[in-house]
Amino acid sequence: MRARLSDIAQQADVSEATVSRVLNDRPGVAPETRQAVLTALDVLGYERPARLRKRSAGLVGLVVPELDNPIFPAFAQIIESALAPTGFTPVLCTQTPGGVREDEYVEMLLDRQVSGIVFVSGLHADTAADHDRYRTLIARPLPIVMINGYAPGIPAPFVSCDDREAAELAVAHLVALGHRRIGLITGPDRFVPVQRKVSGYKTAMRRLAEVGDDELAELTELSLFGVEGGEAAAGRLIERGATGIVCGSDLMALGAIRAARQRGLSVPADLSVVGYDDSPLMAFTDPPLTTMRQPVTAMAVAAVRALVDEINGHGAPHSEYLFRPELVVRGSTAVARQDGTPAQGDSKGRRPAPPALPVPA
């Protein structure tokens, strides 16, 4: 053992007593010196003591709603990359309809003795859910961080995109293009991000388009998240004369484009569509999607920093950090039709075909 301590001390350029303190996990060693000793162990091929291996390979739970929406894999990828230099490894938990629920995943993560959990668009965003589940975790104590969705009364860091501002910017963009009949498609109103989008949309429509409450009610469609929900809601808005639609997600926006094309309408000539997220591949859709970009990288890195600070006992402020969205203008929005009237269709919502051109004999 003396020879091994000597070898390690020589490799790390420290005393044998310092090596002993590190191997026995005793205090009084600077972090950089401790790391130098651990690196020397690895270089010389010695196996780290079990307690040191456990510390260097901590697990962090990462709970996301699904992977069908590409914005969630984007969050997962950045979070994993941000965690890597800290020595923590994420355990990805993906929910599916009828599958494992959030609470069941949490129990599994607790069994694995995770050091903390990051929740992305979880039950913390649902105003109808019981948030005592999170207070129970914090009381263990277990550090947690929430992304997208704020629940007052939970002493934890929250990281969100400013949904109100996103909706206001989207409406302002369409108004600047000459649109007035601008609809909103988003998810169920029990979710905090949805409530904020609706609030921002209505504020902007009253101020910029001078639209009253009755018309706003007619132009607001709450639907299921996803392509199908967006398609169904967009069909109703098109029938009501909407020339522009703001969507609560990129997938909903793709559904709106599908609804327009099924009615023989052109995007953006007849209908302008704005998405939300700027998830991967939206620049390559047909047409490329104008959308509100979530700053995923900045949000994910902030969430990881807050969680690691909590784990290391440096208590991150228990408040909500709002990140500004960015309007990304592409090909799905254009100047409103000069006559100011919505595109008309037949009884099934299809636009009539143009008259055939005469062909000379």
Q: Tell me: the pLDDT tens digits for 330-358?
A: 999 999 987 645 444 443 333 443 333 33
Per-residue pLDDT band for 359 (boundaries 50, 70, 90) equals: very low
Tell me what the mean pLDDT of segment 255-280 comes to: 97
Better-predicted residue by pLDDT, 37 or 253? 253
Q: What's the rounded Cα separation, in Å, for the pair 306 and 146?
A: 10
Give the pLDDT of residue 138. Answer: 94
Of the pLDDT bands very low, low, confident and very high (cuts 50, 70, 90), residue 27 is: confident
Sequence-ordered list of residues with C-beta below 8 angstroms from that of 39, at least 6 positions apart, any chain: 12
Least-confidence region, from 24-33, 169-178, 240-249: 24-33
Burial 268-296 (b: 16+ CB within 10 A, else e): bebbbbbbbbbbeebeebeeebbbbbbbb
Count the helices and strands in the chain (H runs, E runs): 13, 12
Give pLDDT, residue 47: 78
**CA quadruple 229, 235, 240, 242: dihedral, nearest 10:** 80
Cis peptide preceding 268, ω within 30 of 0: yes
25 or 197, which is more confident? 197
Q: Report which of residues 184 and 9 the model is more confident about.
A: 184
> What CA–CA distance (Å, rounded) separates 135 from 156?
9
Q: What is the pLDDT of residues 204-252, one digit of tens each?
A: 999 999 999 999 999 999 999 999 999 999 999 999 999 999 999 999 9
Cα 141 to Cα 332: distance, rounded to the nearest angstrom: 48
- pLDDT for 68: 87
Phi and psi at 94, nearest 5°, equal: -115, 125
Average pLDDT over residues 78-96: 90
Compute the distance between CA of residue 20 and CA of residue 117 in angstroms, rounded to an integer. Answer: 33
Beta bridge partners of 93: 63
C-beta of residue 179 within 8 angstroms of C-beta of residue 338? no
What pLDDT is stored for residue 52 in this prediction?
Answer: 67
Q: Residue range 4-32: average pLDDT?
A: 87
For tokens 């599916």, name the residue.
96
